[in-house]
Amino acid sequence: MTSTAARPDDVKSPGSVADPRRTSWPVLVVFLVPALAIYVGLTAYPAFRTIYDSFFTIEGLDATFVGLDNYRALMSDETFWVAVRNTFVWSFIAPVLDVSTGLLLALALYAGVPFARFLRVAWFTPVLLSYVVVAILWMWIYNYDWGILNEVLRAVGLGALASSWLGDPNLALGALIVTHAWKWAGFNMVVCLAAIHSLPREVLEAADLDNCGWGAKLRHVIVPMLRPTLLNLYILAFIGKMKIFDLVWIMTGGGPLWATETVSTYVYKRAFNWNTFDLGYPSAIAAVWFGVVCAAVVILNRVLASKDRLEY
Amino acid sequence: MAFFSMLGARDPGATPLPRLFARGGLALVIGAYTIYTLGPFLWLATMSVRTTGEISLDHYAWPSPFHWEQFRIAWVDSNFATYFWNSTLVVVGAVAVVTLVGAAAAHALARYRFKGNRLIYAVLFSSIIFPPQITLISLYQILVDYNLYNSLLGLTLVYISLQLPLTVYLLEGFFARIPQDLFDAAKMDGYGDIEIFRRIVLPIGMPAIATTLILNFIQLWNEFLFAVVLITDPDKRTLPIGIRAFMGDHFQDIGMIAAGVMISVVPVILAYIFFSEKLIRGMTAGAVK
Amino acid sequence: MRWGRFGCAVAAAALSIGCMGPALAQPAQINMWSNWPDEPAKKDWVSARVKEFEAANPQCAVKLSFIPKADIYTQAKSAVRTGQAPDIFYLEPDQPEFLAGGFLEPLDSYIDLAGLEDWAKPAWTSKGKVYGLPVEAYTVELYYNKDLVKKVGVDVPANFQLTQAQFTDLVKKGVAAGITPISQGVGDRPFPGGLVLYEALLRKLGPEDYGKLLDGTLSYKDPRVIEVMDWVKGLVDAGAYPKSFSTLKLGESHFYFYNTPGSLTFPDPSWFTGRAFAPPESGGMPANFPLGIMQFPAMDGGKCPECKTLAVAGSFVMYSKSKNKDCAGALLKSMATRDNGTKWMEQVSLQTGLASDPSKIKSAHADYFAELNARNKGVKYFFGTPLFHYRAKCAETYTQVMNNAFPAGLISVQDAADKMNAACFKG
């Protein structure tokens, strides 16, 4: 770093300065307390309440302690397991789609395609739309009779492939995943682009001088150097998908035949749609799911990121 | 598209013809992808100046005549002016606070060694995972207890708490990668901890901060669940609830929904265009490394 | 809420001291949430009742909000627990949890029960008390396009009821002519896909056994049930429903029926009018549309061909923790009169659970209303749709299987019956 290199004389001796990675408690308090206060007041308490509720059955204003009954019932709840399966499929597969599309788009912009400034905005517009609007638009796109997807298929002579995309249990989940990827690819692109821009230019130029093709450059230089960013994006997308709700709720409501039921839609159904004020059971689902996602994130971090943290 | 560009570049000695083909192919793919992302949005834009009756007859027709009055109806008659102001107040307030508070926490967690650092990080981060549908009711209770129910301030606080874990997570990851040498040097120049944060971390962290700003802003601008439950006073509604009013039980007023969406999304696009230019320029000019 | 309480305290103080005239006292404010922001006729009816009440009762002020139904439920579910729910809000009898949780105030001491129809009271009665004002009631009807049905060569008999075979024939002729026989979609509703099947089951089983089926005491494996399901499955396989059935929304299925592409029939509760009688330019039914109402088909060997489902929908309830029950009760009392029931019918062209005087009705849709009444003459009513009787997992299974997968042709009769039995049958 140039800044330190320019000033070695200022350092009297390394030992005389206090360890710069330590600081006094008041400073930490100033930095951390606002965040922790918000966390404790508005996140931890409701979360704790949820876990507490999961040991009760609640009828109106009366709560009855039932111990682990909700958890036991959950283990044999068929719908819950279907929801878990769907959510896992979505969470593990879809982020790959999101992140790789985002990376390719960012590379295209970085490589200097014409109209890059326009394209950067054009590709980002889906991110700006709310789930409600995205859901309505894509329900039209997937419409059997006049949706653009089927219209195009019919126009190119593939009319036999025209389907009721959201109405077929074999296709509905895939259709939702595509819609979700459509919305989020642009966000991944922006983050990747920022990361590419902050790569040391010399490395990329050196690769250019070596007459390194784009493929090789991508594999040997760009992807390894972007690893922390890509990983962050993957985990972020993963968590987003583990909680996925709005899009599914509006487009399919978990149907047909529970083919698109996710854990969050099931929690919501149990909490708001099952003609009961019982928060116990949905709280149990939320608590279990909280554990599962935490564990998954920790494992993902271990498996994928073992060496990244140490490098800096 | 990178696939095609790879084709074009893998063999520099190739004849111009395949390269031309690759170029054309690349343009084709980029064009197709642009239509794929922008098409639905433009389609929605045409619908915002058509009435629902016209749209139902032909979903793809060009507007004729242009029903600009739908924007007036939304803005004046349907109170979108108020909703817009409320949304701006809540979202800008929440994003500003959450970015500052989150950046401070992220900096402390990324930079300083102290007991419980990773624990605090894990605790803050884990709250990102809780499904909001389930904490909704407890949160509601809290707001009622503190008399913040049905107030924009209450909604702002909830939004801050919603986006805090994500902000800390994104910024901590980035701040941790700022070289320690910079801090050592700053310390030696006599900078205090707060000054280091203000004069080094914030400027250098701008790309990451900008990213979280964008993400937080978009998510909160479109937030619906908490807005519908925590606000019942019509004068305090936010834009997503305003748009929702056109989605009747029996009758979806598609033309008005589209007009409402345009009112809510166009300023965001303009802000994004302005902001992303600055962002990219900032990144290329003052890159850290 | 807070101001409401404050105003109430002031009013009470003024009254007890007796030194201030009522004109000086701040009127007590009550809150009221109503559905129907998108249905002008119903909205007008509610607004008019509130205005009349305020004019007659200066000591009470009403803050009335029109909120979509789904949002009312989401808000109310959180609000009732913390004492924040409005004094009066909209509810339907298929949300019994509010009553079970003790969040509703019995209305017996506030309103004149003679202002309600006897058949509507049970929907809101629990332990001998009435908890809701059943403003909106409906029957399940089979609307049809007279011209198209004639065009495919089917004559509707004088009793307006086809036999099972005739209905099958209608479906087949429609498909052959390239006209969708039944417009129906489940894109945004948990029930429409079950209308044809369950109306058929009601007519086949008769009210008693049909009631048992919905109670969970009659198996879906009962041969009569299987027979009806086989018949409906045959219709489905013949192409009775639109291809876009799974994603077609209720509003779109209206449009499908009376605009494009057009269908022979449209099974719908009689609140059909809420959307159909909107102005055509905002998507309502064209003025010259050849609308007819027929009975659902009579089943072969059916026990009750004259049966029909009747239900109560939009109602108003009082919150048990309301801070101003006097005003709230007085408002509900002022709504529950024979006059107001008649006005509802006249303006909304829909049945009501309030007492009414149909002979006095004069409206632009009088012909329609006469036809609806004719189709409900001599009818034997069964109270409540499946979702009124089904709860929790059983309701969810109904929504996924009987409402969606079965009429979409995704599942066999045996599988559908198995799934329903697993969720609903109590052995």
**In chain B, what are the domain boundaries?**
2-69, 71-285
Q: What is the DSSP string of A59-92?
A: ETTEEEE-TTHHHHHHHT-HHHHHHHHHHHHHHH
Same domain, C223 and C152: yes
| Cβ-based contacts of C78 with chain B (< 8 Å) | 136-137, 140, 229
Average pLDDT over residues A123-127: 90
What's residue B267's pLDDT? 84
Q: Which sign does the torsion angle of CA B252, B258, B264, B269 carry?
A: positive
Contact call for residues C143 and C292 (beta carbons, < 8 A): yes
| Cβ-based contacts of B244 with chain C (< 8 Å) | 68, 71
Tokens representing A84? 């878990």
Please state, in angstroms and as integers, the Cα–Cα distance from residue C388 to each residue in A134, A269, A276, B162, following that order: 32, 17, 14, 37
Cβ of C84 under 8 Å from any chain A Cβ? no
- Which H or E element spans position A57? strand A56-59
What pLDDT digit, counting tens, does each position of C191-224 carry?
999 999 999 999 999 999 999 999 999 999 999 9
Say whether C37 and B245 touch across the interface (CB within 8 A): yes
- Number of Cβ within a 10 Å radius of residue A216: 15
Question: Which one of A238-247, A261-270, C203-212 scores highest in mean pLDDT?
Answer: C203-212
Tokens representing B135? 């904490």
Same domain, C290 and C277: yes
What's residue B15's pLDDT? 41
- Number of Cβ within a 10 Å radius of residue C193: 27
Distance CA B229, CA B158 (A): 12
Q: Which residue range is the domain that position C293 belongs to?
A: 138-306+378-424
| Cβ-based contacts of C400 with chain A (< 8 Å) | 254-258
In total, chain A counts a number of residues equal to 312
Say whether B250 and C84 touch across the interface (CB within 8 A): no
Distance CA B9, CA B23 (A): 10
**Which of A11, A289, A294 lies closest to B188 in CB terms?**
A11
- Average pLDDT over chain A, rounded to whole? 82
Please check whether residue C238 lies inside any domain of the structure. Answer: yes
Contact call for residues A21 and B111 (beta carbons, < 8 A): yes
Residue given tokens 């129809």 in the structure block: C117
Same domain, C122 and C206: no
The CATH number for C204's domain is 3.40.190.10
Contact call for residues A98 and A185 (beta carbons, < 8 A): yes
Distance CA A160, CA A153 (A): 8
Distance CA A46, CA B143 (A): 11
Provide the b/e sequence for C375-401 (b: ≥16 CB within 10 Å).
bbeeeeebbbbbbbbbbbbbbbbbbbb
In order along its 427 residues, chain C shows pLDDT tens digits of 334 444 444 444 444 444 444 444 578 899 999 998 888 889 999 999 999 999 999 999 999 998 888 888 888 888 888 888 999 999 999 888 898 888 999 999 999 999 999 888 988 998 999 999 999 999 999 999 999 999 999 999 999 999 999 999 999 999 999 999 999 999 888 899 999 999 999 999 999 999 999 999 999 999 999 999 999 999 999 999 998 898 888 888 998 999 888 999 999 999 998 888 888 877 789 988 999 999 999 999 999 999 999 999 999 999 999 999 999 999 999 999 999 999 998 888 888 999 988 777 787 888 888 899 899 988 999 999 999 999 888 999 999 999 999 999 999 999 999 999 999 998 7
Among chain C residues, the shortest Cα distance to B51 is held by C282
Contact call for residues B118 and A27 (beta carbons, < 8 A): no
Contact call for residues C199 and C309 (beta carbons, < 8 A): yes
CA of C175, closest CA in chain B: separation in Å?
A: 23
Among chain B residues, the shortest Cα distance to C63 is held by B233
The CATH number for A270's domain is 1.10.3720.10
- Number of Cβ within a 10 Å radius of residue C287: 7
What's residue A305's pLDDT? 63
Kindly indicate the confidence band of residue A13, based on its pLDDT and cuts at 50, 70 and 90. very low
Please check whether residue C354 lies inside any domain of the structure. Answer: no
Contact call for residues A197 and B279 (beta carbons, < 8 A): no
Closest CA to C39 of C69, C76, C70: C69
Kindly indicate the confidence band of residue A202, based on its pLDDT and cuts at 50, 70 and 90. confident
What's residue B282's pLDDT? 55
Superfamily of domain B71-285: MetI-like (1.10.3720.10)
* Cross-strand partners of A181: none
Strands (E), A115-201: none
Domain total in chain A:
1
- Partner B, chain A 8-27, Cβ-Cβ below 8 Å: 10-11, 17, 19-23, 27
User: Helix, strand, or coil here: A58?
Assistant: strand
Q: What is the 3-state composition of chain B as percent helix, strand, coil, each rounded to the nearest 5?
A: 75, 0, 20
Cβ of A230 under 8 Å from any chain B Cβ? no
Distance CA A116, CA A106 (A): 10
Tokens representing C307? 């049966």
Say whether B251 and C251 touch across the interface (CB within 8 A): yes
Subunits next to A (3 or more Cβ pairs <8 Å) are B, C
SS3 assignment for chain C: CHHHHHHHHHHHHHHHHCCCCCCCCCCEEEEEEECCCCCHHHHHHHHHHHHHHHHHCCCEEEEEEECCHHHHHHHHHHHHHHCCCCCEEEECCCCCHHHHCCCECCCCCCCCHHHECCCCHHHHEECCEECEECCCEEEEEEEEEHHHHHHCCCCCCCCCEEEHHHHHHHHHHHHHCCCEEECCCCCCCCCHHHHHHHHHHHHHHHHHHHHHHHHCCCCCCCHHHHHHHHHHHHHHHHCCCCCCCCCCCHHHHHHHHHCCCCEEEEEEEHHHHHHHCCCHHHCCCCCCCCEEEEEEEECCCCCCCCEEEEEECCEEEEECCCCCHHHHHHHHHHHCCHHHHHHHHHHHCCCCCECCCHHHCCCCCHHHHHHHHHHCCCCEEEECCHHHHCCHHHHHHHHHHHHHHCCCCCCCHHHHHHHHHHHHCCC
Please check whether residue A12 lies inside any domain of the structure. Answer: no
Please state, in angstroms and as integers, the Cα–Cα distance from residue C420 to each residue in A62, C204, C413, C425, following that order: 31, 18, 11, 7
> What is the distance, to the nearest Å, from the Cα of residue B67 to the centroid of all Cα atoms in its chain?
30
Tokens representing C209? 């056994």
- Looking at this protein, which amino acid is placed at residue C46? V
* Cross-strand partners of C116: C354
What's residue B234's pLDDT? 80
DSSP B187: H
CA of C69, closest CA in chain A: separation in Å?
A: 13
Closest CA to A104 of B38, B207, B26: B26
Please state, in angstroms and as integers, the Cα–Cα distance from residue C313 to each residue in A168, C87, C99, following that order: 32, 19, 15
- Looking at this protein, which amino acid is placed at residue C306? E
Distance CA C210, CA C202 (A): 5
Q: Which residue range is the domain that position A275 belongs to?
A: 67-311
Tokens representing B165? 């874990």
Cβ of C101 under 8 Å from any chain A Cβ? yes
Please check whether residue C351 lies inside any domain of the structure. Answer: no
Please check whether residue A242 lies inside any domain of the structure. Answer: yes
Write down the ipTM of this complex: 0.81
Please check whether residue A33 lies inside any domain of the structure. Answer: no
DSSP B62: P
Same domain, C392 and C256: yes
User: Helix, strand, or coil here: B289?
Assistant: coil
Domain total in chain C:
2
Distance CA B128, CA B126 (A): 5
Please state, in angstroms and as integers, the Cα–Cα distance from residue B151 to each residue in B81, B147, B234, C45, C323, following that order: 18, 8, 11, 30, 21
In order along its 289 residues, chain B shows pLDDT tens digits of 333 333 333 344 334 445 555 677 788 888 999 999 999 999 999 999 988 888 877 888 888 888 888 888 888 888 889 999 999 999 999 999 999 999 999 999 988 888 888 888 888 888 777 777 777 778 887 888 888 888 999 999 999 999 998 899 888 888 887 888 888 888 888 888 888 888 888 888 887 888 788 889 988 998 888 888 888 888 888 988 888 777 776 677 888 888 988 998 888 888 888 777 766 665 554 433 3
- Number of Cβ within a 10 Å radius of residue C44: 14
**The dihedral formed by the CA atoms of B117, B120, B122 and B127, expressed in degrees to the nearest 10:** -160
Cis preceding linkage at B65, omega within 30: yes
CB pairs under 8 A between A and B: 280
Contact call for residues B49 and B63 (beta carbons, < 8 A): yes
Please check whether residue C348 lies inside any domain of the structure. Answer: no
Same domain, C391 and C327: no
Please check whether residue A53 lies inside any domain of the structure. Answer: no
pLDDT score of A71 more than 70: yes
